[in-house]
């Protein structure tokens, strides 16, 4: 078992995230109907946390 980027290859089959309309990243969750990156579908504001580093 390996950790890190190579293990991403095991992520196959079910697709939960599609490209977000607002931030352009593939972090829009289809079932939750919100973006994990910018919060699109969750709130009108951008998802942002104080602990986030720019």
- Minimum CB distance to Zn ion, residue 21 (Å): 7
Q: Which residue has tokens 């579908």?
A: 41
For residues 7 and 43, which CB has a smaller minimum distance to Zn ion in the complex? 43
Query: Does residue 35 bind Zn ion (CB under 5 A)?
Result: yes
Find how far residue 10's CA is from the centre of its chain.
Answer: 17
Using CB under 5 A as the binding rule, whether residue 37 contacts Zn ion is answered as: yes
Q: Should residue 20 be labelled a site residue for Zn ion when binding is judged by CB under 5 A?
A: yes
Sheet of strand 34-35, all strands in order from the earlier edge strand to the far edge: 17-18, 28-29, 34-35
Rounded least distance, CB 16 to Zn ion, Å: 14
């Amino acid at each position: 078992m390996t950790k890190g980027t190579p293990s991403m290859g095991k992520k196959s089959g079910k697709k939960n995230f599609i490209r977000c309309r607002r931030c352009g990243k593939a972090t829009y969750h289809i079932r939750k109907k919100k973006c994990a990156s910018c919060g699109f579908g969750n709130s009108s504001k951008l998802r942002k946390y104080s602990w986030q580093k720019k």
